[in-house]
Amino acid sequence: MPQHYGASWELYQFGLWTQLGWKLTPHPKTAGPNTPDFLVQRAGHDPFYIECTVRNPSDSELQRQKRWSDFLNALEELTSPLYGFDVERRTIGPSPLPVRKIMDQIRRQLSQSHAVRLHHKEEGWNFSVKTTGWGKGGISEGFAFAMTGTERLHYPIRKPVRKKSKWAEGLEGPLVVALWINVFPPYDSRINEAAFTSFMGYNPFDAGRKSGKAQNLHVNDGLWLQHGSAAGRGTSAVLLYEGSLWDRMPTLHGHPDPRFPFTLSAWPFETVQYDVSNHCAPSPTGLQTSWPQFWGLPPELPGIHEPVEGSGSGQLPSPTWWTPVKA
């Protein structure tokens, strides 16, 4: 991973907590063997530590994304205003799909019955395609979650958090793991919660093979909750950010029973609190402020990928926490 990703994430953390009125000390001395990235302090409040980590796409993941995108782009050409396709993906194979062959199969099914039911499973690929109801155009993409499979969609969250949680040894206050994740496929709140607690998911591939009926799977094997007991108590919270920096606010996930308690009620971003007695996370709190409002920027400012008049020209104001040093 290029070093600038990690440096950018640490600078983001510095700006985030400085904007909230906290003082950050880089690489503080601790009684333990590890040195977190920041000690975060503020008068009248308990201090805490932040350890930053980044999970961005590897070259192989980007290649996987392109292979899947090539297939979806070809499928998009077959959609019409009258019907669309539901796509359930489980695994992406190591080599390109025979896209033309699959498109021919779909065309034949459409010409014969105006309906498609295709399950492709070969050379590491496993996905299904079916037509939606008439009058529903476009493509609806979903993911099939098989807990016994090798592709666990929440692993990119669990693995770095588990690794960084070891840094809690010897600390005398809460440890917050700040995780920036930007991998394929995108993650939603249900997968984020499954990474920390347990898993409930519809699995049309493996579930119900004997009964012939699809079933819901439940596995209580989370980072923080395992079979009704708290686990991974060294990490008090995870500050999770998904996607490109500077176009949204992070989400704070709080451990249900940490070694050092960490309040979730004082922050302007969305929070999720977990309960030891409940294997699934409760509904998260709402976002307290928009990202332009938080950073002191114009409310009409678009996302990082959207064009904006004046960007790069010095016409947009700097964030309120940033005061350039005059030469």
Tell me: the pLDDT tens digits for 30-50?
988 889 999 999 999 999 999
The answer to whether residues 50 and 21 belong to one domain is yes
The answer to whether residues 45 and 114 belong to one domain is no
Within-domain flag for 263: yes
Within-domain flag for 41: yes
Q: Which domain holds residue 111?
A: 59-143
The answer to whether residues 68 and 88 belong to one domain is yes
Domain boundary among 91, 110, 143: 143
Q: What is the DSSP letter of 44?
A: T
Instruction: Measure the CA–CA gap between 174 and 264, rounded to whole angstroms.
Output: 12
Domain boundary among 88, 110, 143: 143
Instruction: Measure the CA–CA gap between 40 and 25, rounded to whole angstroms.
Output: 7
**Under a CB-based contact definition with an 8 Å cutoff, are residues 202 and 194 in contact?**
no
Instruction: Measure the CA–CA gap between 126 and 156, rounded to whole angstroms.
Output: 20
Domain boundary among 143, 172, 195: 143
The per-residue pLDDT for range 116-168, each reduced to its tens digit, is: 899 999 988 999 999 876 555 566 665 444 333 334 557 778 888 988 988 88
Nearest residue to 253 via CA among 295, 293, 281: 281
Specify the residue for token string 């980044």. Answer: 54
Q: Tens-of-pLDDT digits for all 327 residues of the chain? A: 456 788 999 999 999 999 999 999 999 999 888 899 999 999 999 999 999 999 877 778 778 888 888 998 888 888 777 778 888 888 888 899 999 999 999 999 988 887 889 999 998 899 999 987 655 556 666 544 433 333 455 777 888 898 898 888 889 899 999 999 876 555 566 667 777 876 544 444 444 444 444 444 455 567 888 777 888 899 999 999 987 777 788 999 999 899 999 988 878 888 888 887 766 656 677 767 788 888 887 776 655 444 444 444 444 444 444 444 443
- Residue 70: which residues within 8 A CB-CB, separation 6 or more? 96, 97, 99
Within-domain flag for 310: no
Instruction: Measure the CA–CA gap between 196 and 256, rounded to whole angstroms.
Output: 10
Within-domain flag for 303: no
Within-domain flag for 46: yes
Residues pairing with 272 in the sheet: 253
The answer to whether residues 20 and 45 belong to one domain is yes
The answer to whether residues 290 and 187 belong to one domain is yes
The answer to whether residues 177 and 268 belong to one domain is yes
Per-residue model confidence (pLDDT) at position 303:
53
The answer to whether residues 179 and 253 belong to one domain is yes
The answer to whether residues 157 and 285 belong to one domain is yes
Within-domain flag for 307: no
Listed in order, strand segments (DSSP E) in 6-136 are: 23-26, 38-41, 48-55, 84-91, 117-122, 125-131
- Type of residue numbered 42: R
The answer to whether residues 164 and 184 belong to one domain is yes
The answer to whether residues 50 and 157 belong to one domain is yes
Listed in order, strand segments (DSSP E) in 220-296 are: 225-226, 229-230, 237-242, 251-254, 270-273
The answer to whether residues 45 and 65 belong to one domain is no
Instruction: Measure the CA–CA gap between 240 and 185, rounded to whole angstroms.
Output: 16
The answer to whether residues 74 and 138 belong to one domain is yes
Within-domain flag for 316: no
Domains: count for the chain: 2
**Under a CB-based contact definition with an 8 Å cutoff, are residues 164 and 157 in contact?**
no
Within-domain flag for 50: yes
Per-residue model confidence (pLDDT) at position 285:
76
